[in-house]
Amino acid sequence: MTRQPGPAGNGMDASTKVVLIDDEVRFSKTLRTILAAHGYDVAWASTGAVGLDMVARHDPELVILDIGLPQLDGFGVLRTLRGWSDIPVIVLSARHNETAKVDALDLGADDYVTKPFAMAELLARMRANLRRKTQREGPAIVKMGDVSVDLAAKSVSGPEGAIRLTPTEWRLLEALARNCGRLVPQKELLAMVWGPEHQNEGEYLRVYMGRLRKKLESDPAQPLHLLTEPGLGCRLQAIEA
């Protein structure tokens, strides 16, 4: 499907995904409506636990996070999220004291906006953080010998054409490709692909790494690109053919 530019001249893609984590129902509904009018696809969670699961499952480009959440508050969400993701996070808070802002930034927040705020300011901060995310991401195409992984198009191709992957296979491959050359810790991978509640399910990685090798490696028994370091994690090694 062709991706259409967002409305209102914001320069963002209509399919730019955002997860909003905020327990204020009326505020969240209003914010979602406004963001949708500016070309964002917004998923809403009213608790921190649900929000973390939503981030893991939907792979958004940006998180908007309220600090004053029940049970698991925004600081706890940030602490957990930064264990397995570097997605941009904009914190929203009614707390105007400097300590709260410093704590949020120290835990990995990319920006901090106090309530009430001007919508134009939030939109500008969203655009700025999305631009920085794009600038720090790796190359759009990762080469594994004669196999090409196109991260922008979410597709894989080889000498004989397109290679079909299941959604889970793609999420695992994408997570490795975006960290090309880096050993990604096992728990971090499991959280990114299957969700934070599955960080101890090491068997998932063994099964799906095996599936990817069968589809993408010339010799699955002696892989050159999709590598596992037992007890540590996995790595995608981009070696040209």
**What does the block give as tokens for 84?**
């397995």
Tell whether 122 and 170 lie within a shared domain. Answer: no
CA gap 173, 129 in Å, rounded: 25
Q: Which domain holds residue 162?
A: 141-236
Confidence of residue 199 (pLDDT cuts 50, 70, 90): confident
Name the pTM for this structure.
Answer: 0.60
Q: What is the pLDDT of residue 240?
A: 55
Q: Judge whether 4 lies within some domain.
A: no
87 and 53 together in one domain: yes
Answer yes or no: do 49 and 146 share one domain.
Answer: no
Domain count, the chain: 2
User: Of 91, 121, 136, which one is at a domain's C-terminal end?
Assistant: 136
116 preceded by cis ω (within 30°)? yes
- Single out the residue in 136, 155, 173 at which a domain terminates: 136
Contact 63, 87 (CB under 8 A): yes
CATH number of 42's domain: 3.40.50.2300
3-state secondary structure of 58: helix
Buried/exposed 181-219: b ≥16 CB within 10 Å, e otherwise: eeebbbbbbbbbbbbbeebeeeebbeebbeebbebbbee
Instruction: Looking at the structure, tell me whether residues 173 and 84 fall in a common domain.
Output: no
Residue 131 has pLDDT above 60, yes or no: yes
Same domain, 101 and 161: no
User: Does 199 map to a domain?
Assistant: yes
Q: Is residue 10 part of a domain?
A: no
CA distance 196 to 208: 17
Distances (CA, A) of 108 to 83, 120, 154: 10, 24, 28
Backbone angles phi, psi at 99, to 5 degrees: -60, -45
Tell me which of 24-28, 54-58, 145-149, 167-171 is least confident.
Answer: 54-58
- Is 7 inside a domain boundary? no
Query: Does the residue 110 lie in any domain?
Result: yes
| Domain end residue (candidates: 81, 114, 136) | 136
Mean pLDDT of all residues in 144-161: 91
Give me the mean pLDDT over the 16-21 stretch.
95
Check residue 209 and give its pLDDT. 96
